[in-house]
Chains A and B, each alone.
Chain A
């Protein structure tokens, strides 16, 4: 039956035989869309006397908003931390390939690198909307180099840095171009971090705490200065201890501003965190959980060697290690499997 042309000429789509995400539940309901906007079908029926122009049988699929990946270092052979001449084509390739994994927006992430890399790569990154061509680019996530040596994980020790002499000016000298930067991960126990956090926050850049040996007080101080995110909770930070919960304690801290919500990234591949730990974090602070892949260039490709910025990575079966090292601290994600975790 045709839609009511006196209200709008645009066709009405009715997605049937599907489950939609509504009120935090999966409900068996049809989804009605016109010109990219979701319609209230009851209003359409009684007000406009409208009905669907095109019905699409979803064969019992789930219709859900696209995933947003705020920590992804590359994929399909592309390494975002490489000082390439044509960074855009690498980003575009990844943005197009991750669509079929359900990701519709992401933050290309750069691991600890020498300033020359940032100077070359950052000017080439631009924020843009997604579409059929690929996922949207929200801005860069700079993970390092202002992180702790003890918790460097897979990052290159040689290029770690501090901002204790010039605070924000040191950071600016390292990165130079901040226009397209959306998130910066840093270790808050570093000297003068409060000034840096304040200035980044003032510029609208999200400050995330990670790769750090900060105790809970230092982490709370960072949040009071503007930090709002935690980079891959549990990994590359002090473990939860009942007398000093460290950064993990932010999930239930009462020493942070009342209306501020701290979000935390979690790598849910079952290897970086034990599912039981993931559940503890979720139950303690369900509204702060953000799933991330922290995927690397090797995602989507066969086992072998790939780069992760200044490091060389070896993919061996399900696990991935810094080439030559086989310890947990150097584990990096192979490929994202978010579906079973979410649903």
Chain B
């Protein structure tokens, strides 16, 4: 029956062209206006002829003083403009920590340890198994050495060793990649939410690499999985104030001291998802880095929903009945994440969306407010604003929810899903693993725009928009170098354990 599908096909093709035509018209509206005006002007000039043009010119009676004043005025305005323009912030390069194979935790090992440690609580073991089956994690995620013991041995020493291992390895790699000398680091920001020793992790970095005594160092703790983008925001603000400087950001989460040792179900969930990881990022505002930088920071929007009680309590660290400390995740986490995202999009939309989408959104808003409140709200098509998406790999549910809300295809969320599969939820550094995935696949071209979205306790939703500065060659090293050929993998809904 070839007749029936044809009308549908032709109508959907027609719709596509209508949409494309509309987008071109609205987004290049000014060009469309300018072309006829320039055409008319050109025709007029040609019509007038050279003598008439000279006559018109002489009649203007330009005077030296007038000419000088006008040019000074123009120079003054342009100087003020260039001085007050915010500095361009570049992301020169970044490096993600790749855990050694000896830290690998296959599903079977995790479940066996769980059975041996929680031998009196079969229901809790059963719960962990169900979570793991549906988690979207793979067999190669890693936990720090102290957690491989039965039962885990989370001493402060072990936590410090983990911190040293992940942070120093990532930083050594970053220094090697960028050729930066430790003495040239001007700003250092370290973010690690749940491990905050004295002296701080940033002091530990300064001690190890013998950084300068007038370095501007900041240690952010307690800010959750979105702390990575908060650090980027802080670095941007500092780089606006300090000319000709660079900043190193270290994003990590130290698992060792935070492995929940009790058996409350809601608090066992993070044990199943959080894994070892770290990233070190070099940002700069120097003109000389313009050529070698990978990305330019276009926008950074932070949204905090802490004023709402439900949002505030949805990710809450507390003691259970037996005194074990763990993180309690509430059941309406997804709904709250959706709300936070909506708030964030409302701010970032006007900054990034093309005029065509903004117009449509405005029209649908007017329509809903004035004419018919039952009209479906128009969800702007963010695929027109960005080529790549990095959604924080907080869990399978987060990625599914965002894919649905933003109407993204499988390929758009591939970086997030594959990062969750290969590395697990590495908290604030997961966005960088995802970016590395996209680069390793050879998909990052000059001019591409990337949207990084992170969620965190509080409840916060932070977005960063980067523009690719130069086409990036597939990296030879990096966390994905030995396994990128195996990806993307098909991740079943439920893994049979």
Instruction: Decide if A and B are genuine partners.
Output: no
- A-to-B contact residues, CB < 8 Å: none
- B-to-A contact residues, CB < 8 Å: none
